[in-house]
């Protein structure tokens, strides 16, 4: 099942939770990129978020990132995943603090790289090839921003019991 269709144990869609976390963390505009089963997930996205379809989603994470960056009108993009049940607005705000068009930074949790990631518009063209986004971030020398105490480091790949 695509993770965009998942819901928390209280029934709240993960998409809605992720959008609200970004807004509460300081994002003025939120773009949700949908791929597999997009037409089914569409109704789970809050009305105040823009939806973009990554038609080539099966090509991997880079395809979804490219679609999202192409639709983003801001100078700085905050990139996160839908399957981060503990991501907090404070982590988003910490990454956004002082970010500008030249910024490339990613949250770390206990020394492990994670999300959110902040990418200034100056660097968006680098994400046009088929390299995995993590490889591109490493090549750009992304700054590490410790968010360990703020929550949000475990994605669903590490906590499968959360998948409904």
Q: Which domains does the chain have, with CATH numbers?
A: 3-157 (3.90.550.10)
| Residue 123 or 62, more confident | 123
Mean pLDDT along residues 62-87: 93
- Contacts of residue 119, defined as CB under 8 A and 6 or more positions apart, other chains included, come to 69, 76, 77, 79, 103, 104, 127
pLDDT of residue 97: 95
pLDDT of residue 68: 95
pLDDT of residue 157: 62
H helix or E strand, kind and range, residue 22: helix 14-24
| Residue 164 or 98, more confident | 98
pLDDT at residue 147 is higher than 90? yes
Contact 69, 3 (CB under 8 A): no
SS3 label, residue 157: coil
pLDDT band with cut points at 50, 70 and 90 for residue 161: very low
Contact 153, 88 (CB under 8 A): no
| Residue 139 or 156, more confident | 139
Q: Which residues on adjacent β-strands are paired with residue 106?
A: 117, 144
Burial 9-24 (b: 16+ CB within 10 A, else e): eeeebbbbbbbbbbbe
pLDDT at residue 162 is higher than 70? no
pLDDT of residue 163: 40
| Mean pLDDT, rounded, of the chain | 90
């Amino acid at each position: 099942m695509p993770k965009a269709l998942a819901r928390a144990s209280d029934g709240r869609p993960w998409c809605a939770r992720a959008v609200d976390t970004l807004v509460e963390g300081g994002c003025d505009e939120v773009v949700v990129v949908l791929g597999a089963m997009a037409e089914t997930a569409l109704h789970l996205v809050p009305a105040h978020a823009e939806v973009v379809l990554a038609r080539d989603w099966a090509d991997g994470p880079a395809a979804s990132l490219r679609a999202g960056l192409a639709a983003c009108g801001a100078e700085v993009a905050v990139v996160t995943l839908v399957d981060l049940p503990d991501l907090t607005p404070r982590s988003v705000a910490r990454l956004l603090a002082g970010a500008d068009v030249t910024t490339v930074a990613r949250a770390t949790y206990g020394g492990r790289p994670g999300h959110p990631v902040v990418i200034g518009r100056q660097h968006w063209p680098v994400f046009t090839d088929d390299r995995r986004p993590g490889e591109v971030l490493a090549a750009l020398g992304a700054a590490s921003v410790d968010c360990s105490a703020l929550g949000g480091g475990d994605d669903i790949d590490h906590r499968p019991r959360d998948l409904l």
